[in-house]
Amino acid sequence: MERLSELEISSLIVMIRASDDAAFAELVRRYTPMMKSVISDLDFTQSRFDVAWSEAIVVLHRASLSYDISREGVTFGLYARICISRALYDLLSKLRLDESVTEPLDEQGLVASGGAESRLLLVESVRRYVSLAATFLSKLELEVFRLYLKGYTTSQMAEELARTPKSIDNAKNRMFRRLREHSSLFFN
């Protein structure tokens, strides 16, 4: 990947914010190797590559609109990579959850997946985890936890809860920290 100086990237970002499609196309071209690398690192199947690629482009555009050009210390490339990685991780989690929920329940599937009984136990475990989490998570963190378990992405959670993606990210970070702190409750 040819390296752009931060000044060149900032110039592209300013043009993107002025609705310059050619500037965004250039940004996509420059960051294509990074986006493909993130998709590859997360082990998206070939059949899901297009979905992941579309999401990566949307997140790159959002990152170009939200990146603070005046801030020093964090390059746009790092910022974009973090945004894309988080969004694609959320997408992969949702796709996997959707896949497990929608797989057909034929006789062979019941035997192979552990059956309906196994799924009922999973649902019951999730209910227990949510109930336990309610004892130490804030109201927002608990709502984020519920939506996370349903496979929602950060942006979907933000829309559902009428919050910014940044506040959802912060709530998720606090939630995961508290879940780790209280992990012994879940394994007793």
User: Residues with Cβ < 8 Å from 96, sequence gap 6 or more?
Assistant: 151
Domain boundary (102, 133, 166) is at: 102
CA 68 centroid distance within chain: 21
> Band of the pLDDT at 115, cuts 50, 70, 90?
low
Which stretch of 51-65, 84-98, 152-166 has the lowest confidence by average pLDDT?
84-98
Q: Around Cβ 10, how many Cβ atoms within 10 Å?
A: 15
User: CA–CA separation, 31 vs 25, rounded Å?
Assistant: 10
Joined tokens for residue 37: 């690398």
Of the listed ranges 37-46, 87-96, 107-116, the least confidently predicted one is 107-116
My answer on whether 59 and 127 are in the same domain is no
| 29 shares its domain with 90 | yes
pTM of the complete model beyond 0.85: no
Q: How many domains does the chain have?
A: 2
- Give the highest mean pLDDT range of 68-77, 79-88, 105-114, 143-152: 79-88
**Which of 86, 102, 118 is at the close of a domain?**
102
The last residue of a domain, from among 102, 128, 145: 102
Banded pLDDT at 135 (limits 50, 70, 90) = confident
96 and 113 co-located in one domain: no
- Which pLDDT band, with edges at 50, 70 and 90, does 15 fall under? very high
Look at 109 and 48; give whichever has higher pLDDT: 48
Q: Six-digit token pair at 160?
A: 């559902």
Q: Which spans in 5-75 are helix H?
A: 6-17, 21-41, 49-66
The yes-or-no verdict on residue 99 having pLDDT over 70 is no
